[in-house]
Structure 1
Amino acid sequence: MKIFKRILLFLAFVVFLIGAYNYKKLNIVAGFAAKSTASSVFLANRTLAFTDSTDNSFTPIHLASNTIDTTLKIARSSVVGLLTRKAVFRKGLGSVLTLNQKDETAKYLYPNRTKSSSEMAYPYGDFPQKDTIFENISYPKLNKAVGSIFGTDKSRAVLVIYKDKIIAEKYSKGFNASSKILGWSMTKSLLSTVFGVLSYQNRMVINAKAPIESWQNDARKEITIHNLLQMNSGLEWDENYDKISDATTMLFLERDMTKTQEHKPLVGKPNQTWNYSSGTSNLLSGILRNHFGSHQEYLDFWYSDFIDKIGMNSMVLEADLSGNYVASSYAWATTRDWGKFGLLYLKKGNWNGTRIFSEDWTTYVTTPTPGSKNTYGAQFWLNADGGFKDVPKNMYYADGYKGQRVYILPDQEMVIVRFGLKNFDENTFLKGILESIKF
């Protein structure tokens, strides 16, 4: 009998351990689903049914059952009835996962915006462009290349801009030129741009030591803002979305996402150890927050001196529960407004006669990070290694989860934007577009 009791006790302990481990997994699954649902429905104005059948349909997120409260603007996601997470929509800040009931009604600051209403044609305004036919473009080849990644590749939108003109634009069912789409890690490139704006205004020294108080008594005090922008700090970080990791814990379980990377130890040497880290991007967002005199100024600056200044009026940056922009992952905008972002870099920071950042900043973000094998700059990805063998090596791009892209091709005077739910053959896609034009 004693042996039987011991066996039962052991089995109960094993079940407890399995439950404890999977509880965190279920928490993250429900968190992803709730956040995705709230943003899709309340920010992007999609239906719950559409969101469930697309954004939330992959494994293991499909295990969550989602409901919405349109009055309170809350999304609830439950995983097999064992655990429920909530996400609430906040004016000007998009949606955020809650950690307790008080978060649902907590007061918050939101950005003040002055959206431009220029009557100019796109890209300097939002009025239609005049029809322009380029004799050096084979439009049948161009349209074939653009259409090649729709269907099984689950593309949602493609925009091709050449010499400031939209020469191709295609959307899948349920999307159009007014649809806001999540850029995921393309948000990191927006973050980098804010540092570029401050640098141009002589309000930020990029090579200065990172102003993190908790680092001042150990070797981390040598880390610079430059090291952080290049993901080359030497700090420990696990960027993995298929398991419980630093990245998933930060995005779905933390109140203040700017702190997660701060608490990590050095596992390498600054400027010698490249490691892609969403935690680093959010740490940089925290550095920006502390750089400004008030939280309101921090919230406003991204828009007043950059986003709204170039007419990206649809863009919304989402924030964590502490009110800090989630610079690693959460920016929404229309495909055309993401195209404006690419054009700002194509024009090296000069937006229709107004300088947003210095020309040198473009050189800075496209300079390969030591240790990245020429694939990464300062929160931008590079083709300097020739990874896309049929694409110019000086092409660079903002890169987001599941193939969100803004490609910038300086020599070709082109910006190409792609959104979807699945990675795709980028080299073949870009090659097809380039081959449709005689440069």
Structure 2
Amino acid sequence: MSEQGPGAGPWRKGQPEAHGLSSETLNRAAETLAVADERQGLVVIRNGVLVYERYWRNDYHLASPEWRNVSFSSGKSWGSTMVGLAYTKGLLGLDDLAARYRRPDMSGLRPETTIRHLLTMTSGGTLNVKPSSRPPRRLDDPRPPGPGVEYAWEKVGEKGSPPGYGVWLPAGQAFYYDGAAADHLADIVAAAAGVSSHRFMMEQIVSPLGCENFNYQPEGVDRNDNVRFGGSIVLSCRDMARLGQLYLNGGRWDGRQLIDADYIGQATSPSPANPSYGFLWWLNAAARVPNAPASMFFAAGARGQFCFVLPDQEMVIATMGFGAAQLSAEAAWDALAPAISQLPPSSP
């Protein structure tokens, strides 16, 4: 797959019509997405060019392309990229035991848990967890951000988890979507790389990608300078789209193979326990999002933080926001689909 996108510089801009899209239908899609007055932004990339963007002001956001939204769990796909870079550099193997880098008495993970298990949400769980990402504050909320969150031991698994989760459930036996176990990948990468996961991410992924408005919530970085792996990123829609473009490029960026193509392929392929999940990316091979292309894969976070990657259309669509409504991937796609359904094949 040919490399496209902005490299280390800003996105190149173009008109939708020059890339087979319609400004009118994109405007309708944006207005449908924004009907709950909770979207902050929508960015559409085709053929590596930013062809459309809209931004809105509300109680939590400014209508600015530089505004940083809270990633929630869409940050997991950035975390997957951190593991992918460590794999690319030969610092770790996907079937390495997690215990090689972080002892089970520290992580709470089963001794047989591998990095692959953590990437595919089949680790068997842990009771040593960090709390969830903090929601964004209202624009009129003067409180300062809180301190970094630390691991704490729980007595039982969270409500809805499988029997024995985090205690005796064997790794590899069941898929259970849980960011708490995945958070330990940040410590694993740090041990493998010899630098904190925060530094590894910012210096070796965020900087090469040319992200302009990307950081972590202060609460998302602990006393060891390791990040909450499954969230707590604050970033613009434009920067979210860079992640999608990296995967659309098969891991190539700015003239080099930043992430091994084999890792990208595995990350966006069905895992044995869940055909709708790869390595911390949601997949559409099993029609998780009805009427969307089967080849689509996407990062997803609470309250509608999405980065849809459409390989057959050479497109990336990022939309973020916050509010009381829980915008689902299905609802987001229903809004976007009319703007994409008549799209001709991508230009070479």
- Deviation (angstroms), 1:412: 0.7
2:188 maps to 287
1:423 maps to 326
SS of 2:312's equivalent in the other structure is coil
Q: Is the 8 A contact 1:232 1:369 kept in 2?
A: no
- Deviation (angstroms), 1:124: 4.5
2:204 maps to 305
- Distance in 1 (alpha carbons) for counterparts of 2:336 and 2:132: 35
Q: 2:114 aligns with which of 224, 242, 245?
A: 224
> Residue 430 and residue 332 in structure 1: after superposition, are their counterparts in 2 closer, same or farther (change >3 A)?
same
SS of 1:407's equivalent in the other structure is strand
1:171 maps to 55
TM superposition score normalised by structure 2: 0.79
User: Superposition pairs for residues 96-175 of structure 1, below 5 Å?
Assistant: 122=6, 124-126=8-10, 129=13, 133-134=17-18, 136-152=20-36, 154-173=38-57, 174-175=62-63
Greater shift in the superposed pair: 322-331 or 224-233: 322-331
1:45 maps to none
Q: Is the 8 A contact 1:186 1:400 kept in 2?
A: yes
> Residue 122 and residue 260 in structure 1: after superposition, are their counterparts in 2 closer, same or farther (change >3 A)?
farther
- Distance in 2 (alpha carbons) for counterparts of 1:426 and 1:306: 28
Residue deviations 1:208-265 (CA, integer Å, cap 9, x gap): 111232359x992111111011110122569xxxxxxx6647979985238779x973
SS of 1:324's equivalent in the other structure is coil
2:89 maps to 201
- Distance in 2 (alpha carbons) for counterparts of 1:138 and 1:271: 46
- Distance in 2 (alpha carbons) for counterparts of 1:219 and 1:340: 32
SS of 2:69's equivalent in the other structure is strand
> Residue 233 and residue 346 in structure 1: after superposition, are their counterparts in 2 closer, same or farther (change >3 A)?
same
> Residue 290 and residue 123 in structure 1: after superposition, are their counterparts in 2 closer, same or farther (change >3 A)?
closer
How many residues align? The count is 307
1:273 maps to 174
2:213 maps to 314
- Distance in 2 (alpha carbons) for counterparts of 1:379 and 1:231: 8
Structure 1 runs (4+) deviating above 6 angstroms are: 249-254, 258-261
- Deviation (angstroms), 1:406: 0.5
Q: Does 1:387 align with 2:291?
A: no
1:353 maps to 255
1:170 partner amino acid: R
- Distance in 1 (alpha carbons) for counterparts of 2:239 and 2:132: 30
2:73 partner amino acid: S
2:344 maps to 438
> Residue 352 and residue 254 in structure 1: after superposition, are their counterparts in 2 closer, same or farther (change >3 A)?
closer
Q: Does 1:257 align with 2:151?
A: yes
SS of 2:226's equivalent in the other structure is coil
Q: Is the 8 A contact 1:274 1:370 kept in 2?
A: no
1:285 partner amino acid: A
- Distance in 1 (alpha carbons) for counterparts of 2:112 and 2:105: 9
TM superposition score normalised by structure 1: 0.63
Residue deviations 1:362-397 (CA, integer Å, cap 9, x gap): 21112223333x221111111121021211112111
- Deviation (angstroms), 1:436: 4.8
Q: Does 1:183 align with 2:71?
A: yes
Residue deviations 1:255-294 (CA, integer Å, cap 9, x gap): 5238779x97344322221111111121111112222334
2:207 partner amino acid: D
Higher RCO structure (Cα 8 Å, ≥6 apart) = 2
Unaligned runs of 5+ in 1: 1-120, 239-245
Q: Does 1:405 align with 2:306?
A: yes
> Residue 397 and residue 368 in structure 1: after superposition, are their counterparts in 2 closer, same or farther (change >3 A)?
same
SS of 1:158's equivalent in the other structure is strand
- Deviation (angstroms), 1:435: 1.9
If you compute each CA radius of gyration, which structure gives the higher value, 1 or 2?
1
- Deviation (angstroms), 1:399: 0.8
Q: Is the 8 A contact 1:348 1:359 kept in 2?
A: yes
- Deviation (angstroms), 1:176: 1.2
- Deviation (angstroms), 1:128: 5.4
Q: Is the 8 A contact 1:406 1:417 kept in 2?
A: yes
Give the structure with the larger helix fraction: 1
- Distance in 2 (alpha carbons) for counterparts of 1:379 and 1:257: 21
SS of 2:211's equivalent in the other structure is coil
2:47 partner amino acid: K
- Deviation (angstroms), 1:430: 3.2
> Residue 128 and residue 356 in structure 1: after superposition, are their counterparts in 2 closer, same or farther (change >3 A)?
closer
Q: Is the 8 A contact 2:130 2:150 kept in 1?
A: no
